[in-house]
Structure 1
Amino acid sequence: MSRVLIIGAGGVGRVVTHKCAQVTEVFSEIWLASRTLSKCDQIASEIDSTTIQTAQVDADNVPELVELIKRVEPQLVINVALPYQDLTIMDACLETGVHYLDTANYEPPDEAKFEYKWQWAYQQRFQAAGLTALLGSGFDPGVTNVFIAYALKHHFDRIHQVDILDCNAGDHGYPFATNFNPEINIREVTANGRFYENGQWVETRPMEISRVFDFPQIGPRKMFLLYHEEMESLTKHIPVERMRFWMTFGESYLKHLEVIQNLGLDSIQPIEIQGQQIVPLQFLKALLPDPATLGPRTKGKTNIGCIIKGEMAGQPVSRYIYNVCDHQACYRETRAQGVSYTTGVPAMIGAKMILQGKWRKPGVWNMEQYDPDPFMADLNRYGLPWQDQEFDIDIDTLPVDE
């Protein structure tokens, strides 16, 4: 029986709170905190539970975080705030002696770049404190890391190639909206692509490489090669010859994104307007629909998984491990759409792994560094069932256009 503090009351925070409240044998008391207290109160009111309490906190402010953690006395902090706030929350956990979990790696506010070096640098401090920090316990990163670790444990002696495929076929009815924080989403998509091959990173132009893949339960969708953060840790911890990440985008999204870039609205450099400093991307974020409000109107499915090729006992092996989620089913359960659900459920499971001692050792760890089996079992148990099948399609031979 454990007390947890969840920081962040967006779509993912809503799902994490709902899911923790369903597992009372582990999460005996839940605190939900955010900069905006009313968002926390709204989520708490959705759940028929007396175990949820709320608080206001500025996650950029370490003393304020420390004060709240000391008042709540949780065993674990679940960070589902912004990636910009990872380091301040980690600092507060170290100061108060509390375990830490997040779903996305640190990203500097003034630079469109995400990587693990800042958080990996905390390794010795968490080890010395006897505390666990689990990084990237979402879906991608997160579940995809565990899929690959599971495949290596059960299907392969050696992995040669990995392709991570992320398809969101949901339709929210808006001409343009993002399914998670618009600022993070647009920064991610407009950056140069990268993939790992033969021990080095190969850079591509944004959206330069595409293929059409027939996603189970969804159908053919055009997907584009991007750089994504889980590849950094996976290529460090699991030897591979090549690793790539692909994500689907609809024509309307791509058309609007092109206009946004042409107008400079994706810039993170402040400009002065009538004596005020305004960051164009933050201004755009204020104009776009809040991803947390998309749940009631989003229909369709997501499919996220990994195609893994390698060998076992000298014989070639190819597997496809994936999950399919229905947006409306996710909303009926947690009042959030599928993208928030597929991130929030793994955050709850990762927290459960730590609190039950199944994934707990001092230091800073990525998902693939732990035994995948108990996590995979809980994915089936708590709403993200997965398929694991033989699969022998070469992505490089697929068409470029639908």
Structure 2
Amino acid sequence: STGATHVLNAVDPRFVMPIFTGTLAAGASYLDMAMSLSQRHPVKPFELAHVKLGDEQFAMAEQWSAADQLALVGIGVEPGLSDIFARYAQDNLFSEIDELGTRDGANLAYYGPDGEEAFAPGFSMWTIIEECLNPPVVWEKARAEAGGSMEAGFFTLPPFSEPEVFDFPEGIGPVECVQVEHEEVLLMPRWLDAKRVTFKYGLGEQMISILKTLHALGLDSTEPITVKGVRVAPRDVVAAVLPDPATIGPQLSGKTCAGMHVTGIGTDAQPRSTYLYHVVDNEETMREYGAQCVVWQTAINPIVALELLAAGTWSGSGVLGPEAFAAEPFLDLLSAPKPVGYGSPWGLQEVPPAPSSREVIAE
């Protein structure tokens, strides 16, 4: 009825499938920043993958292809820009990739109305609880080859596994990162060639402690309970009592960094360890856009993608991730000075390789 050609889904991931299927029925193209939700294995949740992020969407891929429509899934910052960095690294920097490791960290601080530093999530607390307390998924090529399929390469770990300290650029510094369930691990093996794919997030000691406490008290549950005659889900209560991530910008300071740590053999046949990254300063995004940095960094990427789709630079059909498309047009448009592009540069630096999971366990 509106003649819309593209639907950009920016709402809670619980609503992905109604919007996803509705867009297919309406004959439009679809974009989202988070994919359909997972379900943990009923018997071995910290060993075996079960219903994975995006499984419901990929199950409909043939329908999208048959309709000659495109669903571009996971096109926020992570997933999204991180996947584009991975594609760029494969095409331009590496001849062989050992690990594609998304690494996210920040030095953000939130100050409450009294001027004292306090706790506030940078994005939806509901989603933070979901992805951080779910079993993180890892993909390994050796497992896939042994099992005879890409799906055989997925396995799970306990939350907060394999901690490593990653030194983030542009003044952020060292941050401890841990394994977290995230879409990149489910997307990259479909289009990129790596021996291992991981996602680690710099949660910080305070956030990890809060998440463990919420879980211990049952406040991470999404199952409604009755409180004084009112049905309410504990997780919804937690999200409701915390500051709204969309409004905390004036009380935030610091920077956030999203990036892709790639290790392997470079195009010169020598070992290489490279971090491709995008750093955003909260002071800058508040001044220029009136939006806090985590929100802005997530939002800019689907807008760049929409422009590429509208221009026909990116095209396709089916259910595709960002790494299915050439990375250079996206990165050029993102970093080009305004008004030609979006004036948000990305960086690349050589870094010492992270210790292997075997070394971490030994420590």
What TM-score, normalized to structure 2? 0.84
Match of 1:238 in 2: 192
Q: Secondary structure at the match of 2:37?
A: coil
- For residue 95 of structure 1, the aligned residue among 12, 20, 25 is 25
Letter in 2 for 1:257: L
- Over residues 168-225 of structure 1, what are the superposed CA-to-partner deviations in whole Å (9 max), with x where a residue is unaligned? 2211125332111111111111122332233333432211321222211211212112
Letter in 2 for 1:347: P
Q: Does 1:392 align with 2:352?
A: yes
- Over residues 238-259 of structure 1, what are the superposed CA-to-partner deviations in whole Å (9 max), with x where a residue is unaligned? 1211122111123332333232
Match of 1:336 in 2: 291
CA distance in 2 between counterparts of 1:249 and 1:91 reads: 33
**Bigger shift: residues 366-375 or 153-162:** 153-162
Match of 1:215 in 2: 168
Letter in 1 for 2:254: G
CA apart distance, 1:122 = 2.4
Q: Structure 1 residues 168, 114: CA separation in 2 closer, same or farther (over 3 Å shift)?
A: farther
Match of 1:42 in 2: none
Match of 1:191 in 2: 134
- Over residues 110-135 of structure 1, what are the superposed CA-to-partner deviations in whole Å (9 max), with x where a residue is unaligned? 99975111111222222222222111
Following superposition of structure 1 onto structure 2, how do residues 142-157 of structure 1 map, counting pairs within 5 Å?
142-157=80-95
CA apart distance, 1:95 = 2.5
Contact 2:33–2:79 (8 Å) recurs in 1: yes
- For residue 283 of structure 1, the aligned residue among 237, 250, 269 is 237
Match of 1:350 in 2: 305
Match of 1:122 in 2: 60
Contact 1:110–1:268 (8 Å) recurs in 2: no
**Bigger shift: residues 102-111 or 381-390:** 102-111
CA apart distance, 1:270 = 1.9
CA distance in 1 between counterparts of 2:76 and 2:247 reads: 20
**Bigger shift: residues 314-323 or 179-188:** 314-323
Q: Secondary structure at the match of 1:172?
A: strand
CA distance in 2 between counterparts of 1:109 and 1:183 reads: 16
CA distance in 2 between counterparts of 1:396 and 1:196 reads: 15
**Bigger shift: residues 352-361 or 272-281:** 272-281
Letter in 2 for 1:195: V
- For residue 259 of structure 2, the aligned residue among 296, 302, 305 is 305
CA distance in 1 between counterparts of 2:269 and 2:204 reads: 41
- Over residues 76-96 of structure 1, what are the superposed CA-to-partner deviations in whole Å (9 max), with x where a residue is unaligned? 111111112222222222222
Letter in 2 for 1:172: Y
> Structure 2: which 5+ residue stretches go unaligned?
42-49, 113-117, 144-152, 337-341
Match of 2:280 in 1: 325
Alignment length (residue pairs): 330
Letter in 2 for 1:170: L
Q: Secondary structure at the match of 2:83?
A: helix
CA distance in 2 between counterparts of 1:109 and 1:165 reads: 24
CA apart distance, 1:373 = 0.8
CA distance in 1 between counterparts of 2:12 and 2:352 reads: 38
Match of 1:201 in 2: 154
- For residue 74 of structure 2, the aligned residue among 130, 136, 149 is 136
Contact 1:213–1:220 (8 Å) recurs in 2: yes
**Bigger shift: residues 201-210 or 324-333:** 201-210
Letter in 2 for 1:85: F
Q: Structure 1 residues 108, 322: CA separation in 2 closer, same or farther (over 3 Å shift)?
A: closer
Following superposition of structure 1 onto structure 2, how do residues 36-55 of structure 1 map, counting pairs within 5 Å?
none
Contact 1:345–1:383 (8 Å) recurs in 2: no
The alignment's C-alpha RMSD in Å is 2.4
- Over residues 12-36 of structure 1, what are the superposed CA-to-partner deviations in whole Å (9 max), with x where a residue is unaligned? xxxxxxxxxxxxxxxxxxxxxxxxx
- Over residues 148-184 of structure 1, what are the superposed CA-to-partner deviations in whole Å (9 max), with x where a residue is unaligned? 1001111122212122110022111253321111111
Following superposition of structure 1 onto structure 2, how do residues 245-284 of structure 1 map, counting pairs within 5 Å?
245-284=199-238
CA apart distance, 1:260 = 1.8
Q: Structure 1 residues 121, 349: CA separation in 2 closer, same or farther (over 3 Å shift)?
A: same
**Bigger shift: residues 107-116 or 172-181:** 107-116
Contact 2:177–2:204 (8 Å) recurs in 1: no
CA distance in 2 between counterparts of 1:280 and 1:153 reads: 46
| Fraction of identical pairs, as percent | 30
Letter in 2 for 1:255: S
Contact 2:110–2:119 (8 Å) recurs in 1: no
